[in-house]
């Protein structure tokens, strides 16, 4: 069993952090499933600390203007736009 005390309230807290609204049914279902899944993930405790060799390197390019999407293309998928800009919800 996971030491994570999974209940609908905890699921709701994570959902808030993730900006996902859930209905009551989803909260209950996820609470039940997360207990199983997280206790399975806990077998990672048996993994020894292992040195990592980073394989990725930074790739740089000169900071110069180049071809990109125009304003119309950038806005074409927005549910709503105003004066050539994205329209988002009110910042309260």
Partner 1 sequence: MSHNGYITEEEIAGEDGPLAGKTVAVKDNISTEGVRTTCGSAMLEEYVPPYDATVVDNLLDAGATIPGKTNMDEFGMGTTTETSAFGPVENPAAPGHVPGGSSGGSAAVVAAGDADLALGTDTGGSVRCPAAFCGVVGIKPTYGLVSRYGLIAYANSLEQIGPIAPTVEDAAELLEVIAGPDERDGTTHDARDHGTDYEFAAAADGDVEGLEIGVPTELLDGAEDTVVEQFWAAVEELEEQGASYHEVSLPSLEHAVEAYYVIAMSEASSNLARFDGVRYGKSGGYDGNWNESFARSREEGFGEEVKRRILLGTYALSAGYQDKYYKKAQDARAWVQQDFDEAFEDADVLASPTMPITPFEMGESLDDPLKMYLADANTTPVNLANLPAISVPVGDDSGLPVGLQIVGQSFGEKQIIRAGSALA
Interface with partner 1 by CB under 8 A: which residues? 4, 11, 14-23, 26, 29-30, 33-34, 36-38, 40-41, 43-53, 55-56, 58-59, 61, 69, 73-74, 76-80, 86-92
Nearest-angstrom CA–CA distance, 63 and 80? 31
29 contacts 50 by C-beta, under 8 angstroms: no
Least CB distance to partner 1 at residue 67 (A): 11
Give the nearest distance from C-beta 65 to partner 1 in angstroms.
16
| CB within 8 Å of 24: residues ≥ 6 apart | 8
- By beta-carbon proximity to partner 1, the closer residue of 65 and 90 is 90
In the complex, what is the shortest distance from the CB of residue 14 to partner 1, in angstroms, rounded to a whole number? 5
Do 6 and 31 touch, CB atoms closer than 8 A? yes
């Amino acid at each position: 069993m996971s030491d994570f005390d999974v209940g609908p309230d905890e699921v709701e807290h994570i959902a808030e952090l993730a900006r996902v609204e859930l209905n009551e049914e989803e909260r209950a279902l996820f609470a039940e499933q997360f207990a199983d899944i997280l206790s399975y993930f806990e077998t990672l405790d048996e993994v020894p600390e292992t040195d990592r060799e980073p394989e990725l390197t930074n790739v740089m390019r000169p900071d110069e203007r180049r071809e990109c999407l125009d304003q119309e293309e950038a806005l074409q998928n927005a549910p709503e736009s105003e004066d050539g800009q994205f329209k988002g919800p009110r910042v309260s």
